[in-house]
Structure 1
Amino acid sequence: MTSYTKRCCRCLERKPRSEFYTSSRPSSDGLLGHCKECDKAQKRSRPEQQRREASRRRYKAHRDEIIASKREYALRPEVQARERDLNWMRAFVFRMGFERRIDEWDEFQPYDLRMSRDGEWLQEQTR
């Protein structure tokens, strides 16, 4: 018969299995040894400096893989199209002298709106 509870290795309390995160490493039940509460408490107590140092160590250990992954992502057609459109928008804002925030780009839809020669926005018909 399977047990629906598990004992936390840190607080030593018996808790339902839903109170444990799943483990990415092989384990007998597929769950971490400590409960979610203990995991959150540990993360809160760990200083930000240690997190940054751990991140740096991970980057140094996997630098080539990270760079290759970023390169592969940048070569995706949808990413290149977005970057091209962002560059166009930045140049447009600069040329027109607007002081708009580029963060509002998500609201701007470059494929639906086109600018005519006299500076008016035209709604492009959908095909």
Structure 2
Amino acid sequence: MNRNILILAGILGALSVAIGAFGAHGLKPLLIDNGRVETFETAVKYQFYHTLAIFGLGILMLKYPNKQFKYATFCMVLGILVFSGSLYILCLTNLTVLGAITPIGGVMFILGWIFMAMGAKKTF
């Protein structure tokens, strides 16, 4: 399981770089036309930050496996999918209704950090 989390972090990290580069180069005219350059950058940043957190959780779980770290990982992955994913779609389509689900991803990120803290408290 912990190995899979580290593999997942590697894949998410590669996707973060690829999506960021594609946005900066291939999508730049569309993002400018839609007025969404900053929104796209926010989506990439949050994806990258939480990918690094998932990597850290995977490392922690190699030595200290506990449910809270697993829950934190799940919440952060779901946060990336919902938060960053909804922002990517918003940037590409300009469908503002998608902005309504973005905060759900933010809540998942917050829960992920809370579970990480709970796991650290339990472990250390």
Do the structures match in fold with TM over 0.5? no
Structure with bigger strand share is 1
Larger Rg: 1 or 2? 1
TM bucket normalised to smaller = under 0.3
Structure with bigger helix share is 2
Higher RCO (CA 8 Å, separation ≥ 6 residues): 2
